[in-house]
C-alpha cells in the first residue's frame, strides 16, 4: 500500500513538473502571419506575409535566437482567428482591442501608427471638414479595415460606404466618379496613387476619421513562450535609431516591385 501511494505521488509530481516545464519553454521557432493587404506595413503574396512589420519583427526575433516562418492565412479575420487559437504564434501588426486581449498579448510600444484619410478628387475637399459632411455622399474603402467603434457606429447609421475586395479598386472607382470619396490608410493611399500615376487627380480632405497604433500581437495559446520584454526593448531601440522608419521605406519599394509584377486588377 505504501509503495502504491509513493508511486502515485511520484507520478503526479512528474506530470505536474512536466506540464509546468513545457509551459515555460522558450520558443525556438515560430510561425507568423498578418494582414494580407495593408502595404507597406503588411501584405501577402498568397504564400507568406511580407511588409515592414514582418521584416522588423523577424529581424528582432532572429537577433534573439528565434527562427521564424512567415505564412499566408488569407483575410484579416481568419488571421486573427488563427492567432487567437494558437495556430500561429504572432501577428506583426494589428489593432489592440480589449476583446482580443483575452487571447492575445500586445507588445509595447506600437510597431507603427496608422492614420486614415479621406481622398477626394481635386477641388472637392473645401466643404468636407467633419463626419457629418460625408452624409449624402457615396464612399469606398478596402474590405477588412476597422475605423474604431465611434466611426463604425456613425457610418452604419449615417453613411453609405462600399467595401472592395481589392485595396486599390476604391481609388479607381473614385477616379472614374463611381464614388465621391475614399477612405484609406495615409501611407497606403500615397503608395497606390503614385503607383497608378494619379498624383494630380486627388487631394486629402480635412475629415479626421481615425488614427490607430498597430502592435505586435502574440498568441496566449502557443505551446512555448516568447521573450516579450526583450522584444519590446529591441523595438524601442529600433524606433530610436530610425531603423523602423528605414524598414518601412524599404518596404514601399518592395511592395511596388511586387505589385507591378503581379497586379490583381487593371489600372486602365
22-113+214-261 and 114-211, same CATH topology = yes
Query: What pLDDT does residue 24 have?
Result: 57
Residue among 88, 65, 95, 112 nearest 230 (CA): 65
Burial 71-89 (b: 16+ CB within 10 A, else e): bbbeebeebbebbbeebbb
- Per residue in 124-143, pLDDT (tens digit) is 999 999 999 999 999 999 88
- Helix or strand or coil: residue 216? strand
Report the pLDDT value the prediction gives residue 86, as an integer from 0 to 100.
97
CB 139 within 8 A of CB 178: no
Quote the Cα angle for 229-233-235, to 5°: 115
DSSP letter for each residue of 9-23: HHHHHHHHHHHHHHH
Contact 138, 179 (CB under 8 A): yes
For residue 227, what are the β-bridge partners? none
Which residues of the chain, if any, have pLDDT below 50?
A: 1-23, 264-268
Q: Distance between CA 22 and CA 85 in Å, rounded?
A: 18
The length of the chain is: 268
The answer to whether the predicted template modeling score (pTM) of the entire model surpasses 0.75 is: no
Specify the CATH superfamily of domain 22-113+214-261: Periplasmic binding protein-like II (3.40.190.10)
Q: What is the pLDDT of residues 163-184, one digit of tens each?
A: 998 878 999 999 999 999 999 9
Can you give the residue ranges of every domain in the chain? 22-113+214-261, 114-211
Q: Which fold has domain 114-211?
A: D-Maltodextrin-Binding Protein; domain 2 (3.40.190)
Amino acid at each position: 500500500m505504501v509503495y502504491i501511494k509513493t508511486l502515485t505521488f511520484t507520478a503526479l509530481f512528474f506530470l505536474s513538473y512536466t506540464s509546468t516545464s513545457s509551459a515555460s519553454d522558450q520558443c525556438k521557432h515560430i510561425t507568423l502571419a498578418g494582414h494580407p493587404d495593408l502595404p507597406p506595413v503588411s501584405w501577402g503574396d498568397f504564400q507568406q506575409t511580407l511588409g515592414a512589420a514582418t521584416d522588423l519583427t523577424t529581424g528582432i526575433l532572429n537577433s534573439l535566437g528565434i527562427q521564424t516562418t512567415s505564412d499566408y492565412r488569407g483575410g484579416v479575420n481568419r488571421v486573427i482567428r488563427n492567432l487567437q487559437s494558437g495556430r500561429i504564434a504572432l501577428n506583426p501588426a494589428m489593432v489592440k482591442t480589449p476583446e482580443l486581449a483575452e487571447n492575445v498579448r500586445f507588445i509595447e510600444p506600437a510597431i507603427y501608427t496608422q492614420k486614415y484619410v479621406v481622398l477626394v478628387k481635386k477641388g472637392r475637399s473645401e466643404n468636407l471638414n467633419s463626419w457629418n459632411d460625408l452624409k449624402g455622399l457615396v464612399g469606398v474603402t478596402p474590405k477588412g479595415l476597422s475605423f474604431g467603434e465611434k466611426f463604425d457606429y456613425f457610418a452604419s447609421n449615417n453613411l453609405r460606404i462600399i467595401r472592395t475586395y481589392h485595396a486599390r479598386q476604391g481609388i479607381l472607382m473614385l477616379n472614374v466618379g463611381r464614388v465621391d470619396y475614399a477612405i484609406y490608410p495615409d501611407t497606403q493611399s500615397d503608395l497606390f496613387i503614385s503607383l497608378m500615376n494619379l498624383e494630380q487627380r486627388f487631394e486629402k480632405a480635412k475629415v479626421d476619421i481615425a488614427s490607430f497604433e498597430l502592435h505586435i500581437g502574440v498568441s496566449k495559446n502557443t505551446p512555448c513562450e516568447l521573450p516579450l520584454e526583450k522584444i519590446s526593448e529591441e523595438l524601442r531601440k529600433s524606433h530610436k535609431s530610425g531603423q523602423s522608419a528605414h524598414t518601412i521605406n524599404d518596404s514601399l519599394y518592395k511592395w511596388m516591385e511586387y505589385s507591378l509584377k503581379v497586379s490583381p486588377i487593371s489600372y486602365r
